[in-house]
Amino acid sequence: MDEDIQDTSDWARQRLEEMGVFGTQDGLRWAAAHGLVLSVWRNGPIEDAHASRPTSRRKALRDGTIFARNTWHTRQAFDVLGSDDPFRLYALEDLILDRDMVWPGCERTLKDFGWGFLGESRNRRNST
């Protein structure tokens, strides 16, 4: 078992080196923040909302809007991962799932974009 873990760790380190993660200051932290956002935010119900057809209740979630939000979330995750506050991750979760916060640059909220998909976000959160 320990050999499998070591092999996986060696493979991961090699891949991260190939991607240049260790060549930049805080590169590993940025990579971790990006991965966190992908797994918690982007590859979840918000992606379903982004890919689905807009309705009268759910506004269109355009590529530029989702890109800007992903970038913003990655920055927030980066800050959390560098924090000494053990509860900062909970605050990030609340921030990501805030239904009433206006998204910069588009004057809309998660309620506008995620109508019909928001319950999945909360259910996913409670099942882990």
| Overall pTM > 0.85 | no
Task: Please give the pLDDT value at position 32.
Answer: 92
The percent of residues above 70 in pLDDT, for the chain, comes to 88
Q: What's CA 3's distance to the chain center, in Å?
A: 32
- Tell me which DSSP letter residue 31 carries: H
Instruction: Give Cα separations from 36 to 6, 75, 93, 114 (angstroms).
Output: 23, 11, 11, 20
- How far apart are the C-alpha atoms of 68 and 108, rounded to whole Å? 13
Which of the residues in the chain have pLDDT under 70?
Answer: 1, 115-128
